[in-house]
A and B are shown apart, each in its own frame.
Chain A
Amino acid sequence: MKHTVRGKRSKKRTYSLSTQIAASSGWTARYRNLVLICGLFLLFSALGLFGWFEWRRYGNRQTVQEAIRSAKYGRFSDAEPILRHALDLNSGNVELLKLLALGLIHSHKLKEADVVLSQWCDASLTDAEPFRLRMDLRHNRAMQFKPGDEQERHKELALADGQRVIGLEPNDEATAQKVVWLCLASGRFEEANRICRSHLEHKPDDPELLHLQARVCHSVGDRHEAMLVLEKLLSIRPNFAPGLLILAILHYEANEPDKAIPLLRKLVAQKDGSPKEARYHLSLALAKAGHTEEAKRVMAEVQLLNFERDTAQPGVKDSMAVRVRRAELLFGCGRTEEAIASLQTLLIEDPKNFDAHRMLAIYYDQRGESAKSALHRRRSTRYEANE
């Protein structure tokens, strides 16, 4: 059999098939070993690379183990760099993130802890724990800011974390209560109401939940429901101050000051809860019940508390105006001697202070000392006109 091959170099050369096979066998024999070795080389190289990567992973795990050990059994200050190094190698390792976050929280490095907690939250979206921790952290951070945009922002972030926690773990009562508080503080009454109701289904006698529910009901004007909830709450804990306060306010609003007054007196005497708030409502109830003088005195005490708080703010000097107002409130609280002494000192420094004269005029007028009263009133009018 002949086979004709056409080509540039040998136009009419012919080869027998046997010659072709022989040539082919020679090529195979020459390169067979080389191909085999190359194949083996590639195979073992791949195996080697795989092994090398696994070895690295193993090394990382060893680092993680070491970091975990040092974090669990050593000092956090020593463990922190190791944990951070291990995290560099295993950025999504939840256990490392948790240990680092907890360590940072306990070391009061709250800003750094927030970053690590956020990484943990990102790494375990279905786990409530990091969100719970971050909610507490952010709420604590919010409280560290003075009232301002940053504080509000952190409260909002805390609330969002809390919402996620109760989305993931609907039976987490403690977090639910915190979320309700945050909702109340930010005016989200519908949400607070929903959460309270849902948790009260499981724990119908929980005093704190009942208190929150009563607060929500009162805030949204649902008086009837608030009364029912409070009735239950106070049957469980009769001296629960926040509950008593809401009940007293409800009585006041229902034109029942005589029912409100004993409750509020009790709260003012207890001095727990919100004594200023209790005083304020006591004053309103006393006035409504016709006890005008006592109402005025209690209201003056409330105003003095406001005054002390407000004048402690930055930018308030111990000016004449501030001192006059303090004296005025002292008069109101029945601390007459203090007030008189304060005004007399003030008038030595500023004899033309019309406000101080006005106040003394009122004081002497009330005491029936009309001459003195008239003198101070004249001075007050004259100095005010000259102002």
Chain B
Amino acid sequence: MNVKANLYYTQDHEWAEINGDTVTVGISDHAQAQLGDIVFVELPEVGNTVKVGDALGVVESTKAVSDFYSPAEGTVTAVNSELTDSPETLNTDPYGKAWLVKIKFTKRSPELMDSKAYENYLKEEHK
């Protein structure tokens, strides 16, 4: 399972890339592998204000439907609407082209893990 370095991760298997006051959110390689073929993505509206742990949107695969959650408090500034037409990108490039949401944040979740901690977390989860 690919865990990309220099990203933060949540216990719900989202990744978060912090750049100044903006955080970009996606789902981890582990998450996409667990979900299987992803067929639909529902994204929030730009301008929505969110708190840590709020459901940002929905990722639907042929096996299951999952919400994905916000790792920070702030305002949604961009969504990756290309995913609406090609949700399968989440399977092929979860850390790159398939980012989901950008949030201008004022506060981030205190529980974010770095890539090392997330790798350990995955190992623990699979024990």
Q: Do A and B assemble together?
A: no
A residues contacting B by CB (< 8 A) are: none
